[in-house]
């Protein structure tokens, strides 16, 4: 059953993105940022982790999960280090994503070319 | 607006290079099609320069005095780089997709004023290079709306000359810049249609003719949605129902190629004009309207609207 819910939730996020792209002047960049903020907001209300428990990986894959991880990192930092801890820890948990994106895009740019 | 009548100005031979997606049967007698977007060069920019160099090498003769042209890259890079070291005067023009008509009009004025005898009008565009220039680089993978246009890849040059040939430039109008407040960099058809209507009406007034006096009215790259808008504007503002109308961008790609609303770019119009319309030998009097969106990515990002321009030349096939 988790697989089914996972499919529904992830699909719902994608449909939402497509509806925004088709009906507004937003660029893909706008939509991505919007979803990150949305994920962080849901995380602040304590909802996103519950959604992950319920639907599994379907909530981990879309970009909203990035917002959730950002918020969780900042929250952990705040608890251990106060106000400065917010800044100290915010990017720690998402470091895996960011660092691998930078390194792998560099590596791939060495032997690939832009295509249509 | 400035309109001109010419006596002895002719379009002589032309040379064209086109990309892979343009190799679909719509165009005839294209001198060379590219095999891929790089064409053996290291970068896409180099490949655009190579296309222009090939066109110039095949057109330049001992009596060529002036090259006028431009492209879509910053500082009209492709044209400036392709004309180096050939000892021929060069005038760079930027009117976005209206560059071709702008160049032909500039040369025609020099020739009919008897300042020069022969010159070359050249233009080019490259799909990947102009996406990078104006919207997003292709590797970013941005989703595109249905009304956007697909920049045509290719380069076309034509010899404008005093020496007779079967295509005569009869008259021309340089358009004025129109801004209807549209801010969407994907919606070029809507940006350019009002400019096309304005220039067309100005030219008809100057020559004292109506749209029915011509066999064909050809616009450059309004696309499917832009052409509809062009017809609606003519009908609602001037009560003109136009039947002898074709849009280069709408016909350069076939339906099954799924290139959104059609082709665009400065090379779209000359490819359709020389390699399709004039090859058919069906039309005698042709009004060619090149439309350009004078769109600066910097100002669009700062939420300014996009101005547009249209230049018109009237051709007679003898």
Q: Which residue of A has its CA nearest to B137?
A: A114
What number is the average pLDDT over the span B79-91? 94
CB atoms A25 and B184 under 8 Å: yes
* Kind plus residue range of the DSSP H or E element containing B32: strand B32-33
Q: How much is the pLDDT for A116?
A: 73
Q: Parallel, antiparallel, or unpaired: how do β-strands B245-247 and B263-264 relate?
A: unpaired
CB atoms A114 and B137 under 8 Å: yes
Residue A25 pLDDT exceeds 90 = no
CB atoms B127 and A116 under 8 Å: yes
- Cα four-point dihedral sign B278, B280, B281, B285: negative
Query: Is the Cβ–Cβ distance between B158 and B120 less than 8 Å?
Result: yes
Residue-wise pLDDT tens digits, B116-130: 999 999 999 999 999
Q: Flag whether residue A105 sits within 8 Å of chain B, measured between CB atoms.
A: no
When the pLDDT of each residue in chain B is averaged and rounded to a whole number, the result is: 94
Q: How much is the pLDDT for B139?
A: 83
Query: Is the Cβ–Cβ distance between B194 and B203 less than 8 Å?
Result: no
Residue-wise pLDDT tens digits, B232-247: 999 999 999 999 999 9
Looking at the partner chain, which of A21, A25, A114 has a beta carbon nearest the beta carbon of B139? A114
Q: Flag whether residue A22 sits within 8 Å of chain B, measured between CB atoms.
A: yes
DSSP symbol at B286: E
CB atoms A21 and B184 under 8 Å: no
Q: How much is the pLDDT for B141?
A: 80
Q: Which residue of A has its CA nearest to B186?
A: A25
Residue-wise pLDDT tens digits, B249-274: 999 999 999 899 999 999 999 999 99
pTM of the model: 0.90
> C-alpha distances in angstroms, B227 versus B97, B232, B233?
15, 9, 10
Residue-wise pLDDT tens digits, A52-111: 999 999 999 999 999 999 999 999 999 999 999 999 999 998 999 899 999 999 999 999
Q: Which of B265, B259, B269 is nearest to B315 (CA)?
A: B269
How many of the other CB atoms lie within 10 Å of CB of A111?
6
From A111's Cα to the closest Cα of chain B, the distance in A is 12
Question: What is the number of helices (H) and of strands (E) in chain A?
Answer: 5, 0
Q: How much is the pLDDT for B44?
A: 93
Residues of A in contact with B145 (CB under 8 A): 21-22
CB atoms B183 and A27 under 8 Å: no
Query: Is the Cβ–Cβ distance between B36 and B234 less than 8 Å?
Result: no
């Amino acid at each position: 059953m988790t697989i089914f819910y996972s499919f529904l939730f992830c699909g719902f996020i994608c449909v939402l993105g497509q509806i925004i792209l088709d009906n507004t002047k937003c660029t893909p960049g706008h939509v991505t940022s919007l979803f990150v903020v949305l994920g962080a907001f849901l995380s602040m209300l304590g909802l996103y982790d519950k959604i992950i428990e319920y639907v599994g990986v379907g909530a981990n894959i879309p970009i909203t999960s990035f917002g959730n991880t950002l918020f969780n990192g900042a929250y952990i930092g705040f608890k251990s280090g106060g106000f400065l801890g917010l800044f100290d820890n915010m990017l720690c948990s998402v470091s895996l994503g960011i660092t691998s994106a930078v390194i792998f895009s560099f590596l791939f740019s060495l032997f690939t070319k832009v295509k249509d | 607006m400035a309109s001109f009548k010419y006596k002895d100005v002719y379009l002589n031979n032309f040379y064209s290079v086109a990309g892979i997606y343009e190799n679909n049967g719509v165009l005839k007698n294209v001198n060379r099609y590219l095999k891929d977007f790089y064409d053996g060069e290291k970068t896409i920019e180099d490949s655009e320069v190579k296309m222009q160099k090939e066109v110039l090498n095949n057109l330049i003769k001992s009596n060529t005095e002036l090259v006028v042209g431009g492209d879509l890259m910053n500082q009209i890079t492709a044209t400036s780089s392709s004309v180096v070291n050939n000892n021929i005067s060069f005038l760079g023009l930027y009117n976005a997709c209206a560059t071709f008509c702008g160049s032909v009009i500039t040369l025609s004025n020099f020739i009919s004023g008897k300042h020069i005898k022969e010159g070359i009008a050249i233009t080019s565009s490259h799909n990947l290079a102009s996406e990078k220039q104006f919207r997003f680089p292709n590797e970013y993978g941005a989703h595109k709306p249905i009304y956007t246009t697909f920049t045509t890849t290719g380069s076309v040059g034509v010899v404008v000359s005093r020496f007779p040939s079967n295509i005569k430039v009869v008259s021309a109008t340089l358009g004025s810049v129109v801004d209807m407040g549209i801010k969407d960099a994907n919606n070029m058809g809507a940006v350019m249609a009002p400019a096309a209507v304005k220039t067309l009406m100005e030219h008809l007034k100057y020559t004292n003719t109506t749209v029915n006096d011509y066999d064909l009215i050809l616009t450059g790259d309004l696309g499917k949605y832009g052409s509809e808008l062009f017809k609606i504007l003519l009908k609602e503002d001037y009560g003109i129902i136009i039947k002898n109308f074709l849009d280069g961008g709408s016909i350069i790609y076939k339906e099954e190629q799924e290139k959104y609303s059609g082709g665009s770019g400065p090379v779209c119009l000359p490819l359709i004009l020389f390699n399709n319309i004039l090859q058919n030998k069906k039309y005698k009097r042709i009004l060619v309207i090149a439309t350009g969106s004078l769109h600066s990515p910097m100002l669009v990002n700062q939420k300014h609207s996009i101005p547009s321009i249209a230049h018109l030349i009237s051709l007679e096939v003898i």
